[in-house]
Amino acid sequence: MGDRPALQVYDTTLRDGAQQEGLHLTVQDKIAIARHLDELGVGFIEGGWPGANPRDTEFFAGARDLRLSNAVLTAFGATRKAGGQAHSDPQVRALLDSGAPAITLVAKAHTRHVEQALRTTLPENLAMIRDTVTFLVGEGRRVFLDAEHFFDGYELDRDYALEAVRAAVESGAEVVALCDTNGGMLPARIADVVDDVTRSTGAPLGIHCHNDTGCAVANSLAAVDAGVVQVQGTVNGYGERTGNADLLTIISNLQLKLDRPVVADAQLAAASRISHSISEITNITPYGRQPYVGSSAFAHKAGLHASALKVDPDLYQHADPSSVGNRMRTLVSDMAGRASIELRARELGLDLSGQGEVQSRIVALVKDLELRGWTFDAADASFELLLRREVTGEPISYCDVESWRVIAEARGDGGAVSEATVKLRAGGRRLVATGEGNGPVNALDEGLRTALAGVYPEIDGVELVDYKVRILDSAHGSDAVTRVLIEMADDNQSWTTVGVAANIVEASWMALLDGLTYGLHSAGIPVR
Q: Calculate the dihedral angle through the C-alpha atoms of 350, 356, 357, 359, rounding to the nearest 10 degrees.
A: 50
Residue 170 has pLDDT above 50, yes or no: yes
Domain hosting 447: range is 399-455
Band (104; pLDDT cuts 50, 70, 90): very high
Mean pLDDT of 95-118: 95
In a domain, 469, yes or no: no
Q: Do 206 and 340 sit in the same domain of this protein?
A: no
Measure the CA–CA gap between 103 and 298, rounded to whole angstroms. 39
For residue 503, the tally of other CB atoms under 10 A from its CB is 10
Q: Do 171 and 249 sit in the same domain of this protein?
A: yes
- Give pLDDT, residue 231: 98
- Give pLDDT, residue 217: 98
- Give pLDDT, residue 302: 52
Q: Do 192 and 164 sit in the same domain of this protein?
A: yes
**What is the Cβ-side half-sphere exposure of residue 97, based on CA atoms within 13 angstroms?**
16
Q: Do 270 and 304 sit in the same domain of this protein?
A: no
Residue 71 has pLDDT above 80, yes or no: yes
Residue 80 has pLDDT above 70, yes or no: yes
| Spacing of C-alpha 463 from chain mean position | 19
In a domain, 289, yes or no: no
Residue 387 has pLDDT above 90, yes or no: no
Measure the CA–CA gap between 409 and 143, rounded to whole angstroms. 63
Mean pLDDT of 308-330: 74
Q: Do 278 and 306 sit in the same domain of this protein?
A: no
In this structure, which amino acid lies at residue 300? H
Band (220; pLDDT cuts 50, 70, 90): very high
In a domain, 22, yes or no: yes
Phi, psi of 494 (to 5 degrees): -125, 155
Q: What is the pLDDT of residues 441-470, one digit of tens each?
A: 899 999 999 999 989 999 999 988 888 888
Q: Do 276 and 318 sit in the same domain of this protein?
A: no
- Give pLDDT, residue 95: 96
Decide which of 253, 282, 311 is a domain's last residue.
Answer: 282
In a domain, 150, yes or no: yes
The mean-pLDDT minimum among 16-20, 104-108, 307-311, 410-414 falls in: 307-311
Mean pLDDT of 179-207: 97
Inter-residue contact 219 to 207 (CB < 8 Å): yes
Q: What is the pLDDT of residues 283-306, one digit of tens each?
A: 887 888 899 998 778 776 655 455
Q: Which position has the higher pLDDT, 339 or 16?
A: 16
Q: Do 404 and 303 sit in the same domain of this protein?
A: no
Decide which of 371, 391, 416 is a domain's last residue.
Answer: 371
In this structure, which amino acid lies at residue 62? G
- Give pLDDT, residue 329: 67
Q: What is the pLDDT of residues 326-337, one digit of tens each?
A: 877 665 544 455
Q: Do 87 and 181 sit in the same domain of this protein?
A: yes
**H helices within 202-300, ranges in order?**
216-226, 247-256, 265-268, 271-282
* H and E: helices and strands count for the chain: 18, 16
Instruction: Identify the CATH number of the domain in which residue 232 sits.
Output: 3.20.20.70
Please give the model's pTM, rounded to 2 decimal places: 0.69
In a domain, 471, yes or no: no
- Give pLDDT, residue 310: 55
Phi, psi of 91 (to 5 degrees): -75, -35
**H helices within 377-457, ranges in order?**
380-392, 440-453
Measure the CA–CA gap between 403 and 432, rounded to whole angstroms. 10
In a domain, 342, yes or no: yes
Q: What is the pLDDT of residues 226-256, one digit of tens each?
A: 999 999 999 999 999 999 999 999 999 999 9
Q: Do 194 and 335 sit in the same domain of this protein?
A: no
Q: Do 193 and 325 sit in the same domain of this protein?
A: no
In a domain, 504, yes or no: no
- The mean predicted confidence, pLDDT, of the chain is 88
How many structural domains comprise the chain?
3
Mean pLDDT of 123-130: 97
In a domain, 211, yes or no: yes
Q: Do 14 and 54 sit in the same domain of this protein?
A: yes
Q: Which position has the higher pLDDT, 461 or 65?
A: 461
Inter-residue contact 279 to 285 (CB < 8 Å): yes
Q: Do 248 and 324 sit in the same domain of this protein?
A: no
Mean pLDDT of 117-135: 96
- Give pLDDT, residue 311: 55
Decide which of 250, 282, 314 is a domain's last residue.
Answer: 282
